[in-house]
Structure 1
Amino acid sequence: MADQLAQDLAVLLSNDRLNVKVAEPEWLSGTEVLGRIGPVAANSLLRVGVTGVTALLSIDFANAIALTDRSFGGGGRTASEVPERLPRSAALLVEEAATMVAGAMARIANHGHAGLAPQCPEGEVIIRSESAARLRPFAADALCASFALEIGDNDGCQWGAMLAIASDFIDPLLPDPAQAATASRKPDAGHTGVKVVTGSFGTIPLSLHAVLAEFDLPLGRLGTLAPGDQIPLVPARHVPIKLGDTVLAYGSIGTLDDQMALRLTRLPEERLLK
């Protein structure tokens, strides 16, 4: 979701390269969520895609105005003093940003639901209000997951927001919810220090790749490559298994049921799964 939002929100900020972080959830009651937001903020009630669930996105006035300033070419710095009412330009930008957040959530939620047409519904803003309580996003005693969103640019500016979702709506928002019951795993006692993701979040698919070999090729040779050319490869003794640029483990090449396989041989000492 963070990667998706970094791409989508860049359109609002002159196509700047953004860095978006979505923190791990903090579990609060509905009353506690509204208390964190306060009596006045730029609040949007979102409807998320084919699942039809709702979520609350809240941005305080200082961050909303700073984002608006950045979208018009300003520095995007948050001011210590903010007006009592949100300017129309800031309200419009918040609604666009909220629609993008709802859309990113919808694309993730719709992923893995079999039979969905390409034009399946995405996210939308149902209603906005400066009072989060007036939107009635969840019951006062409901258990909610509160996610802190942090948006940053290359100039060192950072803007924050809060996304709150009732716990009953978490599973429908995740890919392949039908497999959630089989996703829980117990930590291996021999691998202390590694955080094992369990429950609903364990169903999120991650793309790993094993680097069998790496080689250097002169630019001139690269330009003359043609079908039929042969390039000798020397497989690594310890093949790295990566998530993006992060090495999660090392393995040796072998076979399993007449297919190529990797036997894990080593885990990096500072491996950390989030």
Structure 2
Amino acid sequence: MAAESEEGVEVVGRTVDEAVQKGLDMLHLRRDQVSIEIVSDGARTLLGFRPGQVRVRMAPKSGLAKPHRAEERRGTRNRVGSEVSPTVAAAGQEAPPEVAARRAEPGAVGTGPTPEANAKPATEAVGDELDVARRLLADLLERMGLRASVEVHPGTGEEPARLNITGRNLAMLIGRRGETLAALQFLTRLMVSHKVGHWVSVAVDVDNYRLKREETLRRLAVRMGEQAIETGRVQELEPMPPAERRIIHLALRDFAGVSSQSIGEGESRRVTIIPARSSRS
């Protein structure tokens, strides 16, 4: 569900990342090009079990024009990467937004880094944030009674820094379709952002689960793309969370002869791979 106006959009989702990604798709902008206000973060229990509905309000930053309606309607079937996300998240992702996560009061967020953060060199500030993130996540795992270590992998380019949890018997931190891991990542981002005073986009992984899953999805995308070309028929993949759909779209972005798009709603949303010459009537 989303409400749109000339100034921006108001979107709902199961998580903040999912809602933000829906808004970015509607606005055709990147996260660093929009201002984001969390209207409601929903009723949420520990690690995201029985999550509530998240509502965010998004608008282009000053000086950025919203794409013309004609551009939004142009060639949906030829547009690839419409699911660039979070989460979930995911799995990675676009350039981190300079959006404050500390709320002055329920339903509101700040709009930028604190003066103390600005006073530090960029590399030092990033290093401090990652150290804070590592310590907070390690403390959370200890309180959960888990014996695990947290590895820090600095971000590269548009990829955020990654905290990889290593240890034994950690499958419970991943959950069905990575839902528990996505909730753990969201919780970690909230804790770190509250601690440092501004929004910090950091990915959380467990025994490199996300990296292995990404490679599996890329191979699946190529295989199904080849099958779409050979048969001339649209290929539909299983339902996936936003971050995994994004991996499929990116893998097919430069794949000649096919395009991809997402269909369906909620947990049933999935990727379709469309050959240039489809036999679908």
What band does the TM-score fall into relative to the shorter chain? under 0.3
Please identify the structure whose Cα radius of gyration is greater.
1
Higher fraction of helix: 2
TM-score with structure 1 setting the length: 0.23
Identify the structure with the greater strand proportion. 1
